[in-house]
Amino acid sequence: MLSDPSASQPGAGRPRQRSNVRLGQFLGSPKAMLGLTVVILFISSAVFAPVLAPYDPNALDIPSRLSGPTWAHWAGTDQLGRDTFSRLLFGGRVALKIAVIGVSVALSTGLILGMIAGYGPKWLDNLLLLAFDTVLAFPTIVLALATVALVGPSLELVLIIVIVSTVPGYARMARTATLALKNDEFILAERSLGASTPRILAHHVLPNVVGPLLILAAMDVPVVVTIEAGLSFLGLGVLPPTASWGTILNEGYLVINDAPFMVVAAGIPLVLTTLGFTFLGEALRDIFDPRMGRGRA
Amino acid sequence: MFFYLIKRIGLSVAVIGLVVLMSFALLHLIPGDPATIALGPRASAETIDRFTEKMHLDEPVWRQFLIFAGNVVTGDLGEDVFSNRPVTQIIGENIGFTLALGAAGLGWAILVGIPLGCLAALRPNSALDRATGILSVGTIAVPSFVIAIWSLLLFAVTLRWLPAIGAGEPGNLPDQLAHLILPAFALGLGWVGYLSRMVRASLLEVMNEDYIRAANAFGLRPGRVIFGYALRVAILPTITLIGLGFGGLISSTVFAEVIFARPGLGKLLYDMVSARNFPVVQGAVLVTTGLYITFVLLSDLIIAWLDPRVRDAL
Amino acid sequence: MALRNTSRRTFLAGTTAAGALILVPDLIGQARAQTAGLRLRMERDNEILDPGYMVGGSEVSAQKQCLPFLAEYDMKDGEVSWRPTYYVTRLEHTDPTHIAFELAEGLVWSKGYGPVTAADVKFSYERMKGTDWSGYFDALDHVEVTGDRTGTIVLNTPFAPFILVTLCHGTGAVLCEKAVTEAGGKFTTDFPATCGPYLYEAVPGQRANFVPNPDWAGPKPAAESVVVQIVGEEKAANLAFEAGELDCTDIGADTLARYRTSPPEGSEITIAGELRYMWMGMNTEHPKLQDLKVRQAIQHAVDVDSIIAGAYSNTTSKSFGIICPGLLGKRDATKSYSYDPEKARALLAEAGVSGLELTLKTLNAQDRLLTAQIIQANLAAVGITVTVLPVDDGTFWEMGMEESGDGWKDLEMWIMQFYTTPDPYEATQWFVSDQVGVWNWERWKNEEFDKLYADGIAEQDLAKREAIYLRMQDIMEETGAYVWINHEPTAYVHRKGVTISTAPSGELDYRRFEIA
């Protein structure tokens, strides 16, 4: 965790030419197109879930409980006869919410902390690095379990866990890029002309740092979605009757003998979404920043 | 090397110190009586009195922390609220299962992933390479608990090939191994993809370096070049990855242990959170994070030992 | 379950390191063949084995293996009665308030605590009056010791069911006075001294082992040893049973429904009894629920039939009170409410309440969460917004207890299930005025109810006794604080050839299992 694999790479400050070439590369990559399609499908199905869902996700229909896939219920029904397909669509909204809020807050917090660490005094840098490493030392689920033990489960808690555990990744990357730029001639010149630190950071460092961070963000979405689903699976996430992919999976796990189809149906959107974002993130990385590598959080 | 060693271990100790501080602070940040919070609502008055005395809750907070840290260092993690058994002992009973699961999961992933990566690197852009590429992204992206549930459904519920729950009978090795297969499979699958990609990428990079080109030019067989020279260098980032990934592995063991009702640290933590048995929760958190930090440290030290360039980077 | 092929098994053990998948089905077969003794399941660790402070369930099972009892259940053709155990040579009513007993000869406590004496019986039963389970001993006056092994249990009222209700349950366990006193007067996860066919060892979080007691001179149980594994999830236990890893496990409603149509090969189902009652309770002192009309509206709004279908696969019988099927005083219908959303809306309008928001707390278990979500939907239909809050069992059982803090003040609605013994008085004891803030979380007091409770214990005439318990349930229903839900059967699936022994309330007694 201290031998940052990206430490020796400049990564930023490259001229912005060839953007058309890159776009062409992106459009030509089957991986990128596949990823993009799934991601668009995911986002639009979550946004338009109220329109797309054939049933109210929380409407009970006890006589038709635990049915397998039928024409009326494409993905079957759960123990209360609720339509699993509709619940999966609405579960996507929870995943999207966590992904959008979690990743954007983590990204901006990480960006700011990373730039401070990279540009600020050495002692502050060391202090922040120690803090990041401490957070990274907690396996995410262990951190979540420990916190839930003290304050009880909620969706807000899931968000906080997601943010806390992903911030160090962004911060480390932003720090490395900032460090590389710090002694760039151009920035030295700006500073000698009397530009303030916030101004230098905002106008010169930020634009160069944000690119790789966005790619990291795309690759973090599946991680975040998985954390939410995993915590909800363990009963540490959303409260009933809210549908989340994790709770549907858990409900299916509990009737795995009686209605095996449910865990299959509940896993599919989760797998597709994580695959889609991973493909997209990888394609972006291959095209824009081939040397960027990253360990598993 | 010596300087690096000191610096690196010092940092790890600092992180562990902070982790201990955080688990101490958690109980004090929550409003209410620390004894009641630490022991949970179900502890008897006697247990609370004993705890208050043992933790010196009547003394200043900084002294309490020193006592707590001192206890942790000497391996005293407190007592279970209900049975009054030492937490260290309870963790000792469970840790073996988790380590066995982790080793089995990672072990099969290494046995399959690294050769797969080598094969892919031997013939870049061949059909095999592409297939490995897609397969590995696929396995990396799929959450381990989905794999666990799906494999439970397929192999235990539908086909009935493998046992569904538990860790097997104590002292019965074949039974225990049979119980290990499904959870280890679920745990390791993502790693197969990770490792093969990492090995492939770093092998390709190494193969472009001058001395390997020279070896190739001298007509050495490709297999010999790869396994004799290139892999030795290319394995380095993989070791880092394994060390870093241990945290993720611990998270995955929680799911594998819960889904397969298998004893272990993760299951212990999950159950004790439900039972609000805080001393055990605290102990299990400390031990898992401690394990993680140790693994990262070890992998860093191995790298530094193998590759002098890394030592200067710190 | 004999060894099939030892040499082959040893060979396999040597080669498994290779982990070849082809060998796996064989591995399991071999592993299963090696098992000796019974393999059972419990849901959680035995936390308190002390009969005075136990939670119940598997703890009672453990007591029955390791401690002397004077009486045990005798179940024939659905009739529940009692009979003396191996531990006594005499146990009988000499008159309605006196029960004479004589302990068998040669009963010895473990760990060198000497013979089991009548003084131990006196100590054990009289101490129960000061414990969490004192309600079971309300009728006990004292125990007279008349010799080393003889004595008389003296009741303060002529309470006929005393032996069946109190002495056959875990509460009737006899403890070793000396050992318990040395242990500080109570104990938790280990017995200070035992006297039974098995010794008890627990591996917390994993299993409890019952191994043969070398000092035991009494009848040998059918199973040489018993391993009770902790399997938290009932579904996981069902999977384990189907995979042949357990010999017997309890099954929930969904599984029971499925096994009735297609039981796993070589298995049988045994229903222990329906001695459980579940209800949704309301805190009558909570500001939002103080108005009787609001509570009555909620009683009318809940569709109990759909709970029984949706959460319990129609395998449980509908409940109309706290007295369970088969017992004196079981009601056949509710008097003042039935499912009627129109009436519920009218009552809410009468009370002048709109936009009511309530919290429903439940144990974090699948059937309860389903029940809660049906109630949530039912109440939404009459304009009440309900938040369902799953609570872990670490905190659930304290929600309404005054001694556990101020949490009871915020308690609004909850789903509760109690187990009972085969006499109606047991279920009524938790709702008398003294129990407010202990187990009467609904927090109502009624003088007539308290008087009827005392009358019910003393009454000898069956018809009059029945009338008393029917009236007590009328009073409960009129508080508006109860929506009665169901009586869940305790059902077990087990291997053919294993005859299980359970209490009517569902606790297994391993020593009385029969193995063909």
Interchain CB contacts (distance < 8 Å): B and C: 118
Reported as a single tens digit per residue, the pLDDT across A30-84 is 778 888 999 999 999 999 989 888 999 888 888 888 888 888 888 888 888 899 9
Instruction: Give the residue range(s) of CATH 3.10.105.10 domains in chain C.
Output: 273-490
Chain C nearest-CA residue for B40: C394
Neighbours, chain A (3 or more CB pairs < 8 A): B, C
Give CA C114 to chain center in angstroms.
32
Distance of CA B261 to the CA centre of its chain: 19
Nearest to A177 by CA among A137, A155, A152, A204: A204
**Which alpha helices (H) appear in C210-249, and where do they start and end?**
234-242
Residue C64 has pLDDT above 90, yes or no: yes
Q: Are B140 and B194 in contact (CB under 8 A)?
A: yes
- Range in A63-72, C83-92, C214-223, C431-440 the model is least confident about: A63-72
Query: Which of A56, A65, A80, A151 to mutate to probe the C interface, most C CBs <10 Å?
Result: A80
Give the Cα-Cα-Cα angle A105, A106, A112 (nearest 5 degrees): 90
CA distance B110 to B118: 12
What is the DSSP code (8-state) at residue C324?
A: P
Q: Which one of A134, A146, A226 has the shortest CB-CB distance to B281?
A: A146
Binding-site residues on chain C for chain B (CB distance < 8 A)? 9, 12-13, 16, 19, 21, 24-25, 27-28, 30-32, 34-35, 44-45, 47-48, 188-189, 203-206, 229, 231-233, 236-237, 239-240, 242-243, 245, 364, 392-395, 398, 404-405
> What pLDDT is attached to residue C150?
95
User: Which residues in chain C touch residue B261, judged by CB atoms under 8 angstroms apart?
Assistant: 231-233, 236, 240
- DSSP for C455-467 reads HHHH---HHHHHH
Q: Between chains, do B172 and C34 touch, taking CB under 8 Å as contact?
A: yes
Q: Which domains does chain B have, with CATH numbers?
A: 96-305 (1.10.3720.10)
Per DSSP, the residues of C82-149 read EEE-TTEEEEEEEETTEEEEEEPTT-B-STT--B--HHHHHHHHHHHTTSTTGGGGTTEEEEEE-SSS
Q: What is the pLDDT of residues B29-46, one digit of tens each?
A: 666 666 766 666 666 677
C-alpha B213/C-alpha B9 separation (Å) is 38
Which tokens go with B283?
A: 């102990």
For residues A255-283, b (16+ Cβ closer than 10 Å) or e, as one string?
A: bbbbbbbbbbbbbebbbbbbbbbbbbbbb
B202: confidence class by pLDDT, cuts 50, 70, 90: confident
Question: Mean pLDDT across chain C, nearest whole number?
Answer: 87
Sign of CA dihedral A92, A93, A97, A100: positive
Which of B143, B254, B259 shows the shortest C-beta gap to A226?
A: B143
Is residue A61 classed as helix, strand or coil in its secondary structure?
Answer: coil
- One-letter amino acid for residue A195 of the chain: A
Assign domain C6-251 to its CATH superfamily: Periplasmic binding protein-like II (3.40.190.10)
**Residue ranges of domains in chain A:** 53-296
What pLDDT was estimated at residue C5? 32
* Set of chain B residues whose Cβ sits within 8 Å of the Cβ of A267: 146, 149-150
The DSSP 8-state label assigned to residue C43 in this structure reads S
The shortest CB-CB distance from A2 to any of B8, B248, B281 is to B8
User: How far apart (Å, rounded) are the C-alpha atoms in residues C496 and C456?
Assistant: 42
Q: Which amino acid is it at C100?
A: A
Residue B167 predicted with pLDDT over 70 = yes
- The number of helices, as runs of H, and strands, as runs of E, in chain A is 12, 0
Please state, in angstroms and rounded to a whole number, the distance separating the CA atoms of residues A216 and A214: 5
- Structure confidence at residue B85 (pLDDT): 81
Burial (CB count within 10 angstroms: exposed 0-12, middle 13-18, buried 19+), residue C352: exposed
Using DSSP, state whether C215 is helix, strand or coil: coil
Best probe of the B interface among C47, C265, C406, by most B CBs < 10 A, is C47
Please state which architecture CATH assigns to domain C273-490.
Roll (3.10)
Chain Cα centroid distance, residue B29: 28
Q: How far is A142 from chain C (nearest CA, A)?
A: 18
Taking only Cα atoms into account, the Rg of chain B, rounded to an integer number of angstroms, comes to 24
Residue span(s) of chain C under CATH 3.40.190.10 come to 6-251
Contacts of C511 (CB under 8 A, 6+ apart): C64, C65, C196, C197, C198, C221
pLDDT score for C277 = 94
Over residues B148-174, mean pLDDT: 82
Q: Tell me whether residues B276 and C30 touch, CB distance under 8 A.
A: no
Residues in chain A: 297
From C28, C30, C393, residue closest to B163, measured CB to CB: C28
Map residue B75 onto helix, strand or coil: coil
d(CA C174, CA C68): 5
Segment A215-228 mean pLDDT: 87
The model's pTM: 0.81
Is residue C30 scored above 60 in pLDDT? no
For B180, the closest chain C residue by CA position comes to C19
Q: What percent of chain C has pLDDT over 70?
A: 92
Cis ω for the linkage preceding A50 (within 30 of 0)? no
CB of A151 less than 8 A from some CB of C:
no
The whole-number pLDDT of residue B40 equals 63
Model confidence at B23, pLDDT cuts 50, 70, 90, reads confident
Nearest to A270 by CA among A79, A61, A56, A98: A98
B268 touches chain C (CB under 8 A): yes
Contact C213, C199 (CB under 8 A): yes
In DSSP terms, C202 is beta-bridged to C208
- Which of A134, A179, A245, A270 should be substituted to probe chain B, the one whose Cβ sees the most B Cβ atoms within 10 Å? A134
| Chain-chain contact of B165 with C239 (C-beta, under 8 angstroms) | yes
C294 contacts C353 by C-beta, under 8 angstroms: yes
| Tens digit of each residue's pLDDT (9 = 90 or more) over B37-91 | 666 666 667 777 777 777 677 777 788 788 888 888 888 887 777 677 888 988 9
Supply the DSSP symbol for B79. B
Helix (H) or strand (E) run with residue B54 in it: helix B45-54
Query: Going by C-beta distance under 8 Å and a sequence separation of 6 or more, which residues neighbour residue B23?
Result: A146, B282, B285, B286
Topology of the domain comprising A53-296? MetI-like fold (1.10.3720)
CA C375 to chain centre: 25
CA-nearest of B270, B244, B236, B240 to B255 is: B270
Query: Number of A:C CB contacts under 8 A?
Result: 60
Q: Point out the residue among A5, A149, A278 whose CB comes nearest to the CB of B141.
A: A278
Query: What tens digit of pLDDT does each residue of A248-284 get?
Result: 999 898 888 778 888 899 899 999 998 898 888 888 8
Specify whether the CB–CB gap between B40 and B48 falls below 8 A.
Answer: no
Tell me which chain A residues have a C-beta less than 8 angstroms from the C-beta of B37. 150
Residue B78 has phi, psi (to 5 degrees) of 90, -170
Q: What is the pLDDT of residues B173-185, one digit of tens each?
A: 888 888 899 999 9
Please work out, in degrees rounded to the nearest 5, the angle formed at the alpha carbon of residue C393 by the alpha carbons of C391 and C396: 60
Q: Mind listing the pLDDT tens digit for each residue in C119-134?
A: 999 999 999 998 888 8
Tokens of A232: 């909800």
Could you tell me how far CA C311 lies from the centroid of its own chain?
20
Please indicate whether, in this complex, the C-beta atoms of B174 and C405 are within 8 angstroms of each other: no
